[in-house]
Amino acid sequence: MNDFTQKEMEGWINFYKGTGSLGWSTPSKNFVPSKEWAIAGYKGWPGVASPKGDRPNCKPTCTLKYSKPDFQVAWFRRSNKKRTTI
């Protein structure tokens, strides 16, 4: 179970990056992508579609090769405490 609703989460994002508490502030340039990524996370990302990024000139690559042994990543989903291993 989530600690807050999606609407509450979106309200906090709007408060911080959007129009603020009075609705007069100018939203930050990445307000919409921030909200889209937060919604994806709320709905279970990476198990749901990824929104577009807000850094079109960024190349998410690394020239260094990983040379260590394989490893596993495990985490507990915040919403239901089920263990997930990739």
Overall number of domains in the chain = 1
pLDDT under 50: residue ranges of the chain:
86
pLDDT of residue 8: 94
- In the predicted model, what is the mean pLDDT of the chain? 83
Residue 13 φ/ψ, nearest 5 degrees: -65, -40
Cβ neighbours for 25, distance < 8 A, ≥ 6 positions apart: 18, 19
**Closest residue by Cα to residue 42 from 80, 83, 5, 86:** 5
Report the number of secondary-structure helices (H) and strands (E) in the chain. Answer: 2, 2
Q: Give CA–CA dist 55/42, Å, rounded.
A: 21
pLDDT of residue 61: 80
Q: Which residues constitute the domain of residue 63?
A: 1-85
**pLDDT digits 0-9 by tens, 60-72:** 788 888 888 888 8
Q: Give CA–CA dist 52/37, Å, rounded.
A: 8
